[in-house]
Amino acid sequence: MAIDDIKSRLLGKHVQIHKLDFEILEEDDTLKIIPHAEQETAVKTLPVTRVELVKNDSKTNIKIRCKIREIDSGGPYLLVSFSLFMFIGSIVAFLGTGGKGEYASLIYTMLAISVGMFTIFWIRMEQGYFDYVRKIREYVKKQCAV
């Protein structure tokens, strides 16, 4: 499809994903899909999606790039960093003591907590952020299908 046709199908549209409204706007030759989360009271990690349209002979290549909103990025980075340092600390302590001695239970507890925290974080991201990204991509693909 031509770039103008794709833009006309997407620009100004609103997408509802999990009862949250996303609007498609144009910014510097790219389309930007932004969430309207002003009324949201729950803590959510939401994506800002950029759709780049590149003319290639008679076709148009579509590049979709998603990025965490800056306001949402602090929590996930902090949680991943904390669980990573806790995991590395428990591995270093395990290697230093050989997994035996008076601190063995503390080492195993730290290891379990770090893996558990990261697992819960990843599951929540799959249900939230990554699900939003998947559904936005599906919407763009469906709208751009000939």
Q: What pLDDT score was predicted for residue 8?
A: 85
Highest mean pLDDT of the ranges 8-12, 36-40, 87-91, 101-105: 87-91
Residue ranges covered by each domain of the chain = 3-72
Tens-place pLDDT, residues 9-40? 888 888 888 888 888 888 887 889 988 877 76
pTM: 0.78
Residue 85: φ, ψ to 5°: -65, -35
Mean pLDDT of the 76-87 span = 95
Q: Whole-angstrom Cα distance, residue 81 to residue 41?
A: 26
Q: What pLDDT score was predicted for residue 61?
A: 85
Q: What pLDDT score was predicted for residue 86?
A: 96
For 24, the 3-state DSSP assignment is strand
Largest CA distance in the chain: 70
